[in-house]
Amino acid sequence: MANSLKDFTNIYQLSKTLRFELKPIGKTEEHINRKLIIMHDEKRGEDYKSVTKLIDDYHRKFIHETLDPAHFDWNPLAEALIQSGSKNNKALPAEQKEMREKIISMFTSQAVYKKLFKKELFSELLPEMIKSELVSDLEKQAQLDAVKSFDKFSTYFTGFHENRKNIYSKKDTSTSIAFRIVHQNFPKFLANVRAYTLIKERAPEVIDKAQKELSGILGGKTLDDIFSIESFNNVLTQDKIDYYNQIIGGVSGKAGDKKLRGVNEFSNLYRQQHPEVASLRIKMVPLYKQILSDRTTLSFVPEALKDDEQAINAVDGLRSELERNDIFNRIKRLFGKNNLYSLDKIWIKNSSISAFSNELFKNWSFIEDALKEFKENEFNGARSAGKKAEKWLKSKYFSFADIDAAVKSYSEQVSADISSAPSASYFAKFTNLIETAAENGRKFSYFAAESKAFRGDDGKTEIIKAYLDSLNDILHCLKPFETEDISDIDTEFYSAFAEIYDSVKDVIPVYNAVRNYTTQKPFSTEKFKLNFENPALAKGWDKNKEQNNTAIILMKDGKYYLGVIDKNNKLRADDLADDGSAYGYMKMNYKFIPTPHMELPKVFLPKRAPKRYNPSREILLIKENKTFIKDKNFNRTDCHKLIDFFKDSINKHKDWRTFGFDFSDTDSYEDISDFYMEVQDQGYKLTFTRLSAEKIDKWVEEGRLFLFQIYNKDFADGAQGSPNLHTLYWKAIFSEENLKDVVLKLNGEAELFFRRKSIDKPAVHAKGSMKVNRRDIDGNPIDEGTYVEICGYANGKRDMASLNAGARGLIESGLVRITEVKHELVKDKRYTIDKYFFHVPFTINFKAQGQGNINSDVNLFLRNNKDVNIIGIDRGERNLVYVSLIDRDGHIKLQKDFNIIGGMDYHAKLNQKEKERDTARKSWKTIGTIKELKEGYLSQVVHEIVRLAVDNNAVIVMEDLNIGFKRGRFKVEKQVYQKFEKMLIDKLNYLVFKDAGYDAPCGILKGLQLTEKFESFTKLGKQCGIIFYIPAGYTSKIDPTTGFVNLFNINDVSSKEKQKDFIGKLDSIRFDAKRDMFTFEFDYDKFRTYQTSYRKKWAVWTNGKRIVREKDKDGKFRMNDRLLTEDMKNILNKYALAYKAGEDILPDVISRDKSLASEIFYVFKNTLQMRNSKRDTGEDFIISPVLNAKGRFFDSRKTDAALPIDADANGAYHIALKGSLVLDAIDEKLKEDGRIDYKDMAVSNPKWFEFMQTRKFDF
């Protein structure tokens, strides 16, 4: 068992990829250009795009041919849907799962499916499809040529194939065919069947007239046939879906022809003609297109916009489509008659509720709170009403009827001024959205008619952006109405909605294409793969396969080279053997036995065994009977005989005997796997042969060998400083220390890439010009506008008087750093020249046998280990990341923020970048590189934290992102925090410090493995090695010395009557003349609270000041200082209520007017506020209203380093303290094998409150 974190080494294998630049040597690039190698591979990259379209065509064909004859029984699923309604009963998921599996098995059981993702797709399936197409011979040949170019390069499509495999997934994922059929289209189809039945009962002539008009396309069928559950089998393919949707919506006639009206049109007409049945608002809902059938590109949007005209045409094409389909008027009609809909059959997604609430009430949780209250009242009197309400709140959808009723009831309780129902308010929003979009569309039309140029013109760009933004706003408001898995819908609403939504969705590709075109950087990072006409290029390094893989690795004078042998020259690297000269290259000779359990039997026991291995009859029988395999027929003697045969055969093998295997005694092997493991561990060897430099130079000169230096800045002539990890890993792979006991293994499957230059006229700092540092001498960033002005001044283009105040101040105070450029500096120089790249994978811990599940080992190490410390990490409101390091007893050893690292104030720099990006985003100017800045910052924070963990033998405790991630004014948003979390896990997968020796802990060959391999955030659970995840609730606003937290549900107490009632439940209100403070005593059990406190009775004091958000006379909110005691005195003096004697004044308060209690209520409310922040002054502190055991009030401004020193430190400290509870659980509940139930590790609120409110405070 480990005694220290530094003992967690060599646990499991890990694969990584090293990335280098390649610099052509000698005439290499000249021959590459002469042989058109770049051109051929670039053409293959372009063909890739056209071939993926052909592959999708084949998938569509396969889907159609498979589903067209399909026949399933849909009645059980229909019954489950009808029974479930909006609730998630158990029958529905089970039926859906069964139907998905039946559908997908129809595909996977076919022989064609097995070829879909293999080379046969290119050699058989696609050519057959192309030859049968009704296109010109010229087009056919072009398609066949494109496909043939990948005949030996099918691995290009590995990623694409993985994506397309999702189409045939049995899981309930939205990209699956089965999901589209079962979860999306069948509920709609079932709703239509029910609607049809209702129409036929109440208005049969609608069906009769529709039947007659559509007879020409019905082909002898009746509408009864179409709208029956069994007929869902006839709408699985795209052509049948189109046909079905035509029956519902009609068929547009050609020019001069009459349109065939569908069922919906006849239904509308009937209602108009029969006002007495106006309530019969039933419409059919069209079905979604089949998967891949909805991937058709809009004709007016090219894949990549190349110029202004294409961008203008794309936007204008979208505008024309929306006008042609009369979308704006249809939206007005749809949302202009909400009083006619059945609101209990119009649904909104649960995942949209928070945003919906904020949109209407500027409060993320208002509707959720209302729904919870609504359901609890409905269950009133029932046992576990709260739990039932919580379960209901997890429903996938909520009806507008429930939302309206809940908000109405809740707003009355909390005295909120809600003027109209949420449904009415939300529906009404569309009127303004449509008017705005229409006006922006008119402005765009005027501009587009005059000019097709706009880049560089902020005004024109803003017109385009405003129009697309207004369309995006409409789409954003429509999206919550999308439904699946629900058949009980208002068909009139959803019929119109589906058509509108499909049209408005087209804004997404247009918006993305135009925005990306407008904001694109002046350079391109796009690169394509190089093959040098060899599909097997660098697939492996084995010496025997150098002619096939045509790639070799060379070394000379501390530099590394990649040699690519010309495919058309059947040359052997051995032909370059050294002729005795002292000046030469060292060539790597790579030998490796992959998967010995497969390779040894294949080589030594083939069906026709070479005579030199000569297996005996007995050995052949052992193989045939499989008695060497550890199962019911296992025979250890037979196993050992086979092992001896393998040992003998290895010694006869020309290549493998050179490994110098040192095997264990045969009798020591428990089974064959032990022997295979030894072969694998010893079956990797790198040796080096000297090659003639003169011959290599000649080969390069003749174009027989393409030679590149494997390069990064560490290999530059005169390079200084610490090398990066890629360099350290690369050198270590070939080092003597590694090869004598292999830790790092070089792998095959390397790749070469090429990136064309994309900047022809770069920005240049000319020699002799003046350059301004973007940070002042104190390390603070200079904002972009000020920086530009100072540059102008420094280079004589502006005088001092024309500068802004900030620029003048920096110059006059001497804070700005201005230096003369000694040699020409080119901006983004790497994009001004063509570049070659080399990506090469390698394995870490080659001999490790673990699977990466280290939690049990970590827990065994932690159990009863009092030398372990704890690092709590918190996102701060005023800091980027804050950490608190504590010991097992809760004593703080370190607390710090990570705003400044390496002299860079990242807090200020990120603030500046965010402002610049916000301005750029609003005007669609080129967006700055905040991504790189954030990643650079996170990388440095991760390094600091892991160093802290190792140096202090500490575990790391973080906020659980899967438990209601906190909203608010945080400097690090969820996406960035997740990236930080993943970077931390990845770093701890194999922790290396550059300054450690090769074989020292944290050295390149002895990295620490302190986390499990990352799969996904949802699979992280509560632990990943030494990282533990806890709910962050009640960690920031809590008194560290008493455990007091404000648990009152004060949002409900909004009227004066309720406030007086609230104050009346207090135990007492007294004035303490000695402290000159008022004290409120109360018992939490008497009040409505969010959680249950362990300690019930508390006394809170009007201690100090609070910074309170208050509305001023102008109606604007400001942060004001409130002196609690003075406020209380003023109120009591105003009402002439005596208090100085120190007696309980609560009875007097209750006997007076409710206004007195209301004013005291706000003092009490402010007293409970522990976190106080003001941006203007930089104040951010925690102050407690509760006296602790030492007779003091905790105030983070007045404490020493033994307690949290500010509000963010308080959060990090208590996250660390929650971690100590996790370690306590490990001490008590860990099983002998290191496993523990996650429930035992959970830190519930009751458990947390008990811990904080009972622990001994002695510091």
Q: Which residues are catalytic?
A: 765, 827, 874, 959, 1208
Distance CA(205)–CA(272), nearest Å, equals 14
Say how far residue 1062 (Cα) sits from the centre of its chain.
45
**Cβ(185)–Cβ(288) under 8 Å?**
yes
Burial tier of 612 (Cβ tally within 10 Å: 0-12, 13-18, 19+)? exposed
The total of other beta-carbon atoms located within 10 Å of residue 819's CB is: 10
Collapsed DSSP state (helix, strand, coil) of residue 1171: strand
User: CA angle at residue 204 from 203 to 207, to 5 degrees?
Assistant: 110
The neighbouring-strand residues paired with 577 are 691
Segment 646-651 long-range contacts (CB within 8 Å, at least 24 positions apart): 646/600, 646/604, 646/675, 646/679, 649/600, 649/603, 649/604, 649/613, 650/679
**Cβ(909)–Cβ(871) under 8 Å?**
no
The neighbouring-strand residues paired with 752 are 530, 838
Looking at this protein, which amino acid is placed at residue 51? Answer: V
**Cβ(1073)–Cβ(1140) under 8 Å?**
yes
Distance CA(632)–CA(964), nearest Å, equals 51
Pairing of strands 835-844, 751-755: antiparallel
**Cβ(888)–Cβ(869) under 8 Å?**
yes
Residue 352 structure tokens: 């949209």
Distance CA(1162)–CA(1160), nearest Å, equals 5
The neighbouring-strand residues paired with 978 are none
Three-class secondary structure assignment of 100-129: HHHHHHHHHCCHHHHHCCCCHHHHHHHHHH
Say which residues have a Cβ less than 8 Å from residue 61's Cβ, sequence separation at least 6. Answer: 129
Residue 785 structure tokens: 């506008």
User: CA angle at residue 1081 from 1080 to 1082, to 5 degrees?
Assistant: 120
User: Terminus-to-terminus CA distance in the chain, angstroms?
Assistant: 34
Say how far residue 206 (Cα) sits from the centre of its chain.
50
Residue 965 structure tokens: 């991630």
Nearest-CA neighbor of 1210 among 1043, 1064, 1059? Answer: 1043
> How many residues belong to the chain?
1259
**Cβ(1046)–Cβ(1168) under 8 Å?**
yes
Residue 245 structure tokens: 């949707």
Three-class secondary structure assignment of 774-829: CECCCCCECCHHHHHHHHHHHCCCCCHHHCCHHHHHHHHCCCCCEEECCCCEECCH
Pairing of strands 14-24, 835-844: antiparallel
Phi and psi at 125, nearest 5°, equal: -65, -50
User: CA angle at residue 769 from 763 to 774, to 5 degrees?
Assistant: 70
Say which residues have a Cβ less than 8 Å from residue 825's Cβ, sequence separation at least 6. Answer: 764, 765, 771
Look up residue 898 and give its DSSP letter.
-
Look up residue 305 and give its DSSP letter.
-
Say which residues have a Cβ less than 8 Å from residue 977's Cβ, sequence separation at least 6. Answer: 875, 959, 961
Phi and psi at 613, nearest 5°, equal: -95, -30
